[in-house]
Structure formats: C-alpha cells, structure tokens
C-alpha cells in the first residue's frame, strides 16, 4: 500500500515507531511494519552488550499500528482524532526483537465500545515467528 504515514500519524521522530502499512481494512484490521534499526536511541542503553527492542516501545509500536485501522484512507475520515491508550491487557513478550529485525504487527479490531473506545488485538512477528501479543484499549477523541 502506498500510504504516507506522516500524513496520518501525529507522532514524529524519535517517537514515530511504525514505517509501513502493508494491509488495511478500515475498522477491521491492519498489518504494519516497524524496521528495528541499530540507529535508534535505545540501542546503546538496552542493553549495550546485546541490544533488544524494549517491550514498552513494542507496546507503543503496536498501539501506533492499531491506529492505522482507525482511519478511512480513501476519505481521510477521523484522521484528526487522537487515540489515547487507556489499558493494556494480556500482554506477552515471547521472543526478543533485535536491531536489524522487521517487526510485523497484525492488528484486529475486537470490539467498538460506544463511540469513544475500541479494543484491538495485536500479534507481532519477526520472520513469521511470534514475538509478542497483546490487547489494547483506546479512547478516541
């Protein structure tokens, strides 16, 4: 898909943690890539001898990936809304993610709770191997 993430996302470097949308179905699902780089600020401190992508940043990346399915790209409907993370459920880190990896996040809408809240399930993989799963709840404003 040819989507300019900078037109959609409010985040900017160093906190923009997604790079490419490869699948998208409005309010249903999204498949998003984050290229984990050796040039990122966390690498030198987490951990200097064997850097791994921090779990808290992975949760943020999964949240940003989830945000992609909340926008209708054809009309840009809801692109001015913000999604605020209000709850993290069932989060599991299964395998470490190293610099040089392509983190693929498969997001699926589980439920829309009135007009303000959504619940999303994310499965993250590297080389088709599951590295993390979680359910996130967002408030939309």
* Catalytic site positions: 46
C-beta separation of 53 from 103 below 8 A: yes
Question: In Å, what is the CA distance from 45 to each residue of 14, 54, 59?
Answer: 15, 10, 19
User: What sign has the CA pseudo-torsion 23, 131, 61, 40?
Assistant: negative
C-beta separation of 37 from 77 below 8 A: no
């Amino acid at each position: 898909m040819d989507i300019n993430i900078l037109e959609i996302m409010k985040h900017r470097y160093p906190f923009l943690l997604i790079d490419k949308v490869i699948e998208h179905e409005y309010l249903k699902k999204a498949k998003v890539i984050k290229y984990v780089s050796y040039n990122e600020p966390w690498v030198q401190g987490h951990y200097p001898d064997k850097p791994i992508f921090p779990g808290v940043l992975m949760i943020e990346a999964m949240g940003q990936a989830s945000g992609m399915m909340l926008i209708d790209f054809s009309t840009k409907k809801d692109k001015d809304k913000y999604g605020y993370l209000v709850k993290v459920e069932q989060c599991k880190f299964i395998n470490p993610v190293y610099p040089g990896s392509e983190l693929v996040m498969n997001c699926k809408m589980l439920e829309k709770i009135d007009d303000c809240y959504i619940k999303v399930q994310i499965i993250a993989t590297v080389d088709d191997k599951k590295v993390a799963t979680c359910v996130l709840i967002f408030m939309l404003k």
